[in-house]
Amino acid sequence: MGAVAADQPECSSRSSSLIFFMAVLTMVFWSVVAYISFTTRGNISFQRNLNCKAVAGGAVTPSFDNGFGVDSCASDHICHDKGMFTTLDSSKYKTFEVVHGETITSSGVGNVDLLVATTQGKPRVLTLRNVHYIPQQSMSLVSVDKAISGQGFDSPDFKNLTWKADDTCTLKILKTNSTFMLDASVKYWSWTKSGVHKQH
């Protein structure tokens, strides 16, 4: 009995130490999660449903003013220019939390067609679906996460400035300063009450 009684405090001490150690690990884990969430809060990420299809002829003339940034932190595709949308449903919207706890609500969701340059030298039409229209944003973004999880894109190769969409389509990426953009141009559309009409 004496031996048993002597062992119990030691066992209890080990249990207390283990519980304390696990509590510290849990606190560290949640601190890291909170830090990552806070530091990436201002980035709205890309959305899924990309489709890369062939197009006949034509050269791609990239424009950094109207281009789409490749953002690995974005949660959804976003576009700041209504004229880039081929379709737009103004009844659909989403509220995004940005820096300092502020929020921005999109003004619609639709599709955008991009004429993208490929490493094969053949331009392709890349359709971005479920793109959120946010006119308050300074630039448009493609979500890397949504492209990978929704359409099977590979991770972008920022070193070689390429992004593989599938076995027949590898997109070119442009870099200016620290910003990565798709090498692409956008067809502009004019909007009327009766629908969308292509600008000439």
Higher pLDDT, 195 or 122: 122
| pLDDT score of 155 | 94
pLDDT at 140 over 70: yes
CB 89: neighbour CB atoms within 10 A? 12
| pLDDT score of 59 | 46
| pLDDT score of 109 | 95
Higher pLDDT, 17 or 106: 106
Contact 76, 45 (CB under 8 A): yes
User: What mean pLDDT is predicted for residues 154-168?
Assistant: 93
CA 148 centroid distance within chain: 10
Contact 183, 60 (CB under 8 A): yes
In angstroms and rounded to an integer, the radius of gyration of the C-alpha atoms of the chain is 24
Q: Measure Cα distances from 19 to 23, 25, 26, 67, 167 in Å.
A: 6, 10, 11, 53, 51
pLDDT at 42 over 70: no
Contact 142, 71 (CB under 8 A): yes
User: Strand 124-133 vs strand 78-79: parallel, antiparallel, or unpaired?
Assistant: parallel
The phi, psi pair for 73, rounded to 5°, reads -105, -5
User: What mean pLDDT is predicted for residues 138-161?
Assistant: 89
Euclidean distance between CA atoms 111 and 89, whole angstroms? 9
| pLDDT score of 5 | 40
| pLDDT score of 35 | 45
User: What mean pLDDT is predicted for residues 109-114?
Assistant: 92
pLDDT at 44 over 70: no
Contact 73, 176 (CB under 8 A): no
CB 58: neighbour CB atoms within 10 A? 11
| pLDDT score of 102 | 83
| Ranges of H-type helices in the chain | 2-39, 144-151
